[in-house]
Structure 1
Amino acid sequence: MKFALSTLGLPGMPLPEVAHLAARTGYTGVELRAHPESHIHPHLTPTQRKAVTAEFKKARIEILSIAGYARVADRADNTDLPQLIDLARDLGASYLRVFPGGADNPHADDTAVHRLAQAAQQPGVGTGGVRILLETHDSHRTGEAIARVLNRIEGKENKQNTGALWDVMHTWLGGETPAESYRHLAPHLGYTQVKDIASASDTTPLPLGKGALPLSECLALLPSDGWVCWEYEKRWYPEAAPLPELLQAGREYLTQLLAGTAK
């Protein structure tokens, strides 16, 4: 299993520090949040993009994914999706995360299927490029809901160029067991986001293993060569403990879960 960290838990941290921190605490990949308030966004110049890739390459940290905020099931057009695809391609990311959204759309599934199929045909997506992953979130927080969309995408190439991102908190909040979520998501799975929270009513991020999420059950289902990314939502919960001091223990805990030695 390979471990990545999300920069959502490191708001404002300069990218060279992120790369150094990931390497020092035993992670081999990063999920880079793409947002105007962060260091990663579609308006980076070509020179800036090359500098980002060089920084992580120097630290031997893989840019696993670009976490974008396009919502493919919304009524409104996602005009930033092509720009996010270009950004992910230029940074050498394997994946681009998109959200469903869709709460205001009675035809959310149809819209998402159409948009994902279109995006799957764009330059930079596919063989040697980026795969677009729909996260368990928003109106489609369960594995069943995400699979309902992805199963409708037609064409071998389109199916290969799209997939699922399993956020284990959202499927749990949606009432699925890990086995149910994985059964729906396995044919489409790109990678998995882990986290921990106290309860369904208190989603403040906690150190891994200190909360209620069934992390052991989730990890036991995953392929041994897969990626697991710790998404610690410090950006939305400023009162949460700082992530840097938790990272090494979190990675060790995940390793122990996989080995069956966690206490």
Structure 2
Amino acid sequence: MKLAFSTLGVPGMPVPDVLRLAVTHGYHGVELRAHPEEPVHPGLGLTERADVAAEFKDAGIDVLGIAGYPRVAAPGADEPVLDEIRTLLGLARDLGAPFVRVFPGGFPGGSSADGPEPSQEQRDEADARAARRLGTAAEYAADVGVRILLETHDSHRTGAAAARVLGPVGHRHAGALWDVMHTWLGGEQIADTYAALSPFLGYIQVKDIASADDTTPLPLGAGVLPLAECVELLTRKGWDGWLCWEYEKRWYEGAAPLPELLGPGRELLARLLTESA
């Protein structure tokens, strides 16, 4: 498996500095958070995009994915969501990234645990919206050679919930991004998540936290998430994709700086991979 980290852990850091961290600590790729406050975002012109792509190529580091924020299950008109996805797909194409991340966002308040429990009718409607939009967007994605990945997050935080959407879509350019924290918070076992997502899996976001009540990011291996179990299962199943460390420093100012954790984090993941082989 290849290892990456997300720029969510180093908010606002210039691309050369991000690449220096990746090279220094032995990561193979970087997931780029596509937000206007970041150096890389959909507002970049063609020349700027070409410069970023060249910097990554010269450093020998892959652009793993573009982490966008469209909410494919959210109420409202389809076109604004599809337009946002098309914009991200164009950025991914220009940077040579194979994946674009989208969120479900089906219910007000994020996950059902954060607000009123949605009715079955609301769940069905959210699933249908997400499947319809992803089916349309997947056609655009196929044209540019990029896969759209629905992250296990908010209203669809488990693998089973994501699969309810992706199954009906049935398009190879629409897949899943497995966020290990969210499936765990959703009460889903690692083996069950893998069984649900394996037909769709693009890559996996790993992280660590203290508890379900305290999701402040911790160094990998310092918290409660079942990272060893996850890596062991993936290895046993012969899955050979990407593990991306998403350290949510952007949302937790008090969390330790990511750069000083990248070396030990890579060592832990490498050890888990070796022990699972």
Amino acid at match of 1:220: E
Relative to structure 1, is the Cα distance of residues 224 and 252 closer, same or farther in structure 2, using a 3 angstrom cutoff?
farther
- CA offset at residue 126 of structure 1? 2.5
TM-score of the two chains, using structure 1 as the length reference? 0.94
Q: 2:210 maps to which residue?
A: 198
1:56 counterpart letter in structure 2: F
- 1:146 counterpart (157, 162, 173): 162
Rounded to whole Å, the distance in 2 between the matches of 1:81 and 1:149 is: 17
How far did 1:129 drift?
A: 1.4
The correspondence for 1:93, drawn from 90, 97, 108, is 97
Q: How does 1:1-263 map to 2 (within 5 A)?
A: 1-76=1-76, 77-78=80-81, 79-104=83-108, 106=122, 107-122=125-140, 125-126=141-142, 129-154=145-170, 159-222=171-234, 223-260=238-275
Question: C-alpha distance in 1, partners of 2:175/2:39?
Answer: 26
The CA deviation string for residues 32-59 of structure 1, in whole angstroms up to 9 with x for no partner, is 0001111121110000000110111111
Task: Give the secondary structure class of the aligned counterpart of 2:204.
Answer: strand
Q: For residue 179 of structure 1, report the CA deviation from its aligned partner.
A: 0.6
Give unmatched runs, 5+ long, in structure 1: none
| Partner SS, residue 137 of structure 1 | coil
Q: Distance in 1 between matches of 2:233 and 2:34?
A: 29
Q: Name the CA distance, whole Å, in 2 between partners of 1:244 and 1:224.
A: 28
Structure 1 residues 136 and 194, CA, compared in 2 at 3 Å: closer, same or farther? same
CA distance in 1, matches of 2:169, 2:226: 30
Shift of 1:221: 2.0
Aligned residues: 255
Distance 2:213 2:178 in 1: 21
State the secondary structure of the residue aligned to 1:259: helix
Q: Which blocks of at least 5 consecutive residues in structure 2 are unaligned?
A: 109-117
Paired with 2:93 and 2:135, the residues of 1 have a C-alpha distance of 18
Distance 1:82 1:144 in 2: 26
Which amino acid counterpart does residue 149 of structure 2 have in structure 1? L
| Amino acid paired to 1:129 | G
Cα deviation for residue 81 of structure 1 reads 1.4
Structure 1 segments of 4+ aligned residues over 4 angstroms from their partners: none
SS in 2 for 1:253: helix
> What's the CA shift string for 1:196-250, capped at 9, x where partnerless?
0000000000000000000011111224521000000000001000000100110
1:127 to partner: Cα distance: 7.1
2: CA distance, partners of 1:254 / 1:143? 22
Displacement after TM superposition at 1:190 (Å): 0.3
SS at match of 2:27: coil
Deviates more, 1:3-12 or 1:98-107: 98-107
- Counterparts of 2:207 and 2:66, CA distance in 1: 18
Q: Percent identity over the alignment? A: 62
Q: Which moved more, 1:90-99 or 1:78-87?
A: 78-87
Letter in 2 for 1:185: L
- C-alpha separation in 1, matches of 2:272 and 2:99: 25
2:135 aligned counterpart, secondary structure: helix
Separation (CA, whole Å) in 2 of partners of 1:128 and 1:37 = 26
Q: If each structure's helix is expressed as a fraction of its own residues, which one has the higher value?
A: 2
> Could you tell me how far apart the structure 2 residues matched to 1:224 and 1:137 are?
22
